[in-house]
A and B are shown apart, each in its own frame.
Chain A
Amino acid sequence: MLSLLVALLLLLGSALAAGAAEPDQLARGKYVFGATGGCGCHTEPKGAVNAGGRKYDGPFGTVYSSNITPDPKTGIGSWTDEQIITAVRLGRRPNGERILPVHPFTSFNGMAEEDLTALVKFLRSVSPVNKPTPPKRITIPMFESVFLPAWLMTFASKETPPATAPVSGVARGEYLVRAVGHCSECHTPRSALTMALDTSRLLAGNTKKTGPEGQATPNLTPDKGTGLDWSEEQIVTYLQTGNRPDGDVAGGLMGEMIQGTAAGYKDMTKADLQAIARFLKSIPAVKNKID
Chain B
Amino acid sequence: MLWLKTLGIVMVMTGFGSWGLNQARRIRQRVEQLKNLRLALNFLQKEITYIHTPLPQALKRTEQFSVYPVSVLFQEVACSLGERQGNTAREAWRKGMHKLSSHSELSRADLELLATLGYQIGMSDASEQERVLLMVQEELKILEEEALKACESGQKLWSYTGFVLGAVVVLLLI
| A and B are partners in one complex rather than unrelated chains | no
